[in-house]
Amino acid sequence: MVAPVPSDSLVARALASDSAAMARLMTRAEAGSPECRPALAQIYAKAGRAHVIGITGVPGSGKSTLVSTLTVKLRRSGKRVGIIAVDPSSPYSGGSIMGDRIRMSELVGDEGIFIRSMATHGAHGGMARASLEAVDVLDAAGFDYVIIETVGVGQAEVEIARAAHTVVVVSAPGLGDDIQAIKAGILEIADIHAVSKCDRSDANRTVSDLKTMLAMGMSLASGGAWQSPVVPTSSAKGEGFEQLIECLDRHGQLMRHSDAGRERVRRIAEFRMLKTAEDLLHQRFLEARQGTLVAVSAQLSDRRISPYQAAERLLNGINLQGSP
């Protein structure tokens, strides 16, 4: 049996945009293998140049179609684009249910585009646990834009606002609410509002309602340094994407050259540190609990102890610090 290629030996190839090496590092990041952490640390040190864009919105708003059309437009200007498409996990295999290589099949084959579907594996917040490690790989490999398309779960999606430089919230007319994003609780995280399917007759109302609500002070994303624009788009007709790209680039410049942007980058780093710490604690807890889980759960099922007492007994004596 051939031994697996060490992760450290994949770094140079990934930095040179070798698709196979990038894909392997992303797979190992998803698996949470400690073996790949030094390699990912080398990748992280080389990243930091790409414009990371989060695309979010309620299910059915047209996120994937907008991402596909936006990517085509960016490629025409010579930019390299990486896409991290986060999909729900299969309850059976744990893998990604919706394969974006199928949904974005017209993009496959372009060496300036890299698409990776990632399953949530039960993670909340609309993102997979290894999403930002995958972003690092694409960033370090020289991609100009890295787009994270969230899973489309509604209220839990706001995590993207703490992970991307620019957040685009996609709304569409005719989904049962005047502005579906209000119900989902994600309107206020938008740096840019994109109204998809603007070729439809009822799209003007959605655009008008969004502008009215923004005028009432519902845009909170950039602390007053940026007024979130509303951009009507139509992927079917290719309309509105030049304006969308112009807004993305203006916001990207703000993030690079302003105090608000530097503070946002610091908050992204803080978010990553805390999420990584949570993941490490969760992993160590799962490993450490095995010796007492059966005995304590048996006492709980016999009602000899309460759930709180059971939890305390499970935690007692477990060392969650691990090795540095």
Domain membership of residue 288 (yes or no) is no
pLDDT in tens, 166-222: 999 998 887 655 555 555 466 778 899 999 999 898 888 888 888 887 777 654 444
Q: Are the C-beta atoms of residues 119 and 128 closer than 8 Å to each other?
A: yes
φ, ψ (nearest 5 deg) of residue 239: -95, 145
- Counting residues of the chain whose pLDDT is more than 90, the rounded percentage is 48
CA distance 137 to 149: 16
Instruction: Return the C-alpha torsion angle 35, 43, 279, 125, nearest 10.
Output: -140
CA distance 242 to 231: 10
The confidence band for 90, taking pLDDT boundaries of 50, 70 and 90, is very low
294-298 mean pLDDT: 88
Tokens 């990934």 -> residue = 14
Count of structural domains, the chain: 1
Domain encompassing residue 131: 47-260
For residue 37, what pLDDT is reported?
A: 93
Domain membership of residue 205 (yes or no) is yes
Under DSSP, the state recorded for 304 is S
**For residue 54, pLDDT beyond 90:** yes
For residue 127, what pLDDT is reported?
A: 55
**For residue 160, pLDDT beyond 80:** yes
For residue 322, what pLDDT is reported?
A: 58
**For residue 138, pLDDT beyond 90:** yes
Handedness of CA 20, 25, 30, 36 (dihedral sign): positive
Helix (H) or strand (E) holding 251, with range, is: helix 241-257
The confidence band for 224, taking pLDDT boundaries of 50, 70 and 90, is low
Question: How many residues does this entry show for the chain?
Answer: 324
Q: Are the C-beta atoms of residues 176 and 64 closer than 8 Å to each other?
A: no
In whole numbers, what is the pLDDT of the chain averaged over residues? 83
> If you average pLDDT over each of 32-46, 50-64, 153-167, 279-293, which comes out highest?
32-46
Comparing CA positions, the residue from 170, 211, 173 lying closest to residue 56 is 170
CA distance 130 to 263: 23
**For residue 124, pLDDT beyond 80:** no
108-115 mean pLDDT: 87
Domain membership of residue 284 (yes or no) is no
Task: Give 3-state DSSP helix, strand, coil % of the chain, rounded to 5.
Answer: 50, 15, 35
With 0-12 / 13-18 / 19 or more C-beta atoms within 10 angstroms meaning exposed / middle / buried, residue 269 is: exposed
Domain membership of residue 27 (yes or no) is no
Instruction: Return the C-alpha torsion angle 92, 277, 53, 21, nearest 10.
Output: -70
Two structure tokens written together for 214: 């923004």
Domain membership of residue 59 (yes or no) is yes
Handedness of CA 132, 193, 57, 224 (dihedral sign): positive
43-70 mean pLDDT: 91
Domain membership of residue 119 (yes or no) is yes
Domain membership of residue 36 (yes or no) is no
pLDDT in tens, 229-269: 999 999 999 999 999 999 999 999 999 999 999 999 999 99
Domain membership of residue 80 (yes or no) is yes
The confidence band for 22, taking pLDDT boundaries of 50, 70 and 90, is very high
- Please give the C-alpha separations between residue 50 and each of 142, 143, 255, in angstroms, as whole numbers: 7, 6, 12
Tell me the Cα Rg of the chain: 22
CA distance 157 to 123: 11
Comparing CA positions, the residue from 130, 144, 151 lying closest to residue 64 is 151
**For residue 118, pLDDT beyond 90:** no
With 0-12 / 13-18 / 19 or more C-beta atoms within 10 angstroms meaning exposed / middle / buried, residue 174 is: middle
The confidence band for 134, taking pLDDT boundaries of 50, 70 and 90, is very high
Helix and strand numbers (H, E) in the chain are: 12, 7
271-278 mean pLDDT: 89
User: What contacts 252, CB < 8 A, 6 or more positions away?
Assistant: 51, 165, 166
Higher pLDDT, 76 or 181: 76
**CATH (domain of 175):** 3.40.50.300
